[in-house]
Amino acid sequence: MTSVTDTASSLDQEHHHGPAKGLMRWVLTTNHKDIGSMYLWFSFIMFLTGGAMAMIIRAELFQPGLQIVEPAFFNQMTTMHGLIMVFGAVMPAFVGLANWMIPMMIGAPDMAMPRMNNWSFWILPFAAVMLVSTLFMEGGGPNFGWTFYAPLSTDYAPPSTTFFIFAIHMLGISSIMGAINIIATILNLRAPGMTMMKMPMFVWTWLITAYLLIAVMPVLAGAVTMMLMDIHFGTSFFNAGGGGDPVLFQHIFWFFGHPEVYIMILPSFGIVSAIIPAFARKPLFGYTSMVYATASIAFLSFIVWAHHMFTVGIPLIGELFFMYATMLIAVPTGVKIFNWVTTMFRGSMTFETPMLFSTAFVVLFTIGGFSGLMLSIAPADFQYHDTYFVVAHFHYVLVPGAIFAIYAACYYWLPKWTGYMYDETLAKVHFWMSFIGMNLTFFPMHFVGLAGMPRRIPDYALQFANFNEMASIGGFMFGTTQLLFLFIVIKCIRGGAKAEAKPWEGSEGLEWSVPSPAPYHTFTTPPDVK
C-alpha cells in the first residue's frame, strides 16, 4: 500500500507546485520511472568519465616511450577507469533499467520501497564525486589497480586511500538497498496470475542478481574495512611483517569479485532474452532451462574465485578444484547461448538496432567466453596471467556483454520511455562504429598478451608497437562514437516520429514475456478465453 500512496503523493507534488519546483521533483521523487531515468543518466556521465580515463591510457600506449602522462598518473588512470566503469557505469545502468522496467513487467504500481529507492540513488553521486576527488588530493588518487591488492593498497598507498575506502562503502550500501528493493518488489508485488515461471527473463535475471549483490557486497565491505584498520589502527590483516597474509586479501576480494562479474552480466542475459524473441518473432526457446541455467551460473560463481589466483601458490588440489569448477560454468552459459541461437533459427528476423546489439552480444560474448575457458586451465594461466590477454578477455565479456546489452535495452525501450522513435539510421551508425571500434581495440590485445606484454604498464617493448597503435585508434573510435549515442537520445527525447503503442511490428506479446499456455479445455465445450 505504501508504494501506491508514495507514488500518488509524488505525482501530487508535481501537479500542485508546477515547474517552479522542477528540481525538487527530481530530488524528492519516489516514482520508479524518474529514479530509473536518474540512474541511467548518472551511469552515462560516469561512462564518459571512465571512458575519458581509458582514452588517456590508450593515448599513452599509442607508441612506446613515455610521452603524455607520468607513470604514477598512468597507474591512477588504470585504477580509476576500472572502478568507475564497474561501480559507476555498468551497475547503476542495470539498476536504472530494473527500476524502469520491473514494476511494469510484473504489473506493480511502483517499487516496493519507493523512499528507500530515492535514497539508494542519491548516495551514488556523492560517492562518485568522492571517488573522483581523490585524484586532486595530496599524493594523488588510488594507484594500486582496480583490484586494490593489499599490502600495496595499505602500506604503500597515497593518503587519499581513506576517502577511496569510504566511497566504496557508500557505493556498496547503495547496491544492497537497491537489491533488497528489487527482491521485495518481485516477490510481493506481482500481478495476480503472474507466477514465478511466467515472469519475463529480465525479471528473473534481476531477481537472481539481487541475491548475488546482497551476498557479496558485505564481503567487499569487510575487505575495505580491514584495509582501513591496517592503515589507521595498527592491525596487520594483510601485512606479513605483523603476522598477516597478503594472499588473504586476494581470497576475500575475489570471493566478492567473481560473483560481481556475473552481477554485471546476468541482467544482460535478461535483456537479450527479451529482444531476440521480439525480432525473431518467436517465443524464447527453452524458457525453463534459461531460468535454471541463470540460477546455476549464480551458484557456481561463488566457488570459482581462486581462478584469479592460480599464480599465488595455492595447493595443487586447490588449483584442480578451481580449474574444473570454472570449466563447469561454461555448461549453463552454453545452454543460454544455444537457446538464443535456437530462438533466432528459422525466425522471421529483422535487424533494427536493438537486434544488432543483441546479436553482436551473442557472438562477441561467446569469444570472451572461449578466452575465459583458456584462462581457466591452471598450467596455461601461469603464462597468461597479468598479460594483455587477460585484459582482452574481460573486455570482450564486459564491453559487448554489459555495455552492448545496455545499449540494446535503451534502443528497445526508448519508444516506450519517451513516446517517440529514435533515429534508426543514426542508431545503426552508432552500432557499426561501436562494433568496429570495440573489436579494433580489444582483438589485438590477445596477440600482444600471448606475446608476453604485461598489463598495467605505461611503456612497453618495441615489438608490441603496431598492435598497440591499432588498439589506440580503435579505442578513440569507440570512445568518440558514444557521443553520437548521447545525441540520438537527446534528439529522441525532444521529439520526432510518434512511437506506436507496439513499436516493434510483429512482436506483439513477445515484448514482455513468454506467452501463457493455451486455456485448458476438453474439446466438448468451448474454451474459456476471457
How is 330-347 classified by DSSP, letter by letter? HHHHHHHHHHHHHHHTT-
Grid coordinates in use for 468?
A: 598497440
Q: Nearest to residue 445, comparing CAs of 367, 376, 390, 398? A: 390
| Nearest alpha carbon to residue 407 among 97, 49, 46 | 97
317-323, Cβ contacts within 8 angstroms, sequence gap of 24 or more: 319/378, 320/378, 322/378, 323/376, 323/377, 323/378
| 227 touches 314 (CB < 8 A) | no
In terms of phi and psi (left: phi > 0; alpha: psi -120 to 50; beta: otherwise), the region of 355 is: alpha
> How far apart, in Å, are the Cα atoms of 479 and each of 14, 46, 55, 472, 474?
37, 13, 7, 10, 8
Of 487, 504, 102, whose CA–CA distance to 270 is shortest? 102
- Tell me the CA distances in angstroms from 106 to 98, 410, 484, 510, 513, one per residue in order: 11, 19, 33, 14, 10
Could you tell me the three cell numbers for 25? 521533483
- Torsion sign, CA atoms 97, 392, 129, 147: positive
Per 3-state DSSP, the chain is made up of helix, strand and coil in percentages (nearest 5) of 75, 0, 25
Q: Return the exposure string of 157-189: e unless at least 16 CB atoms fall within 10 Å of the residue's CB, then b.
A: bbebbbbbbbbbbbbbbbbbbbbbbbbbbbeeb
Secondary structure letter of residue 217 according to DSSP: H
Burial 195-204 (b: 16+ CB within 10 A, else e): eeebbbbbbb
Determine contact, residues 52/45, Cβ cutoff 8 Å: no
Decide: helix, strand or coil at residue 454: strand
HSE-CB at 458 with a 13 A cutoff on CA atoms is: 18
Per the CB < 8 A criterion, the answer to whether 305 and 323 are in contact is no
Active-site residues, by number, are: 81, 110, 146, 174-175, 258, 260, 262, 273, 307-308, 333, 336, 455
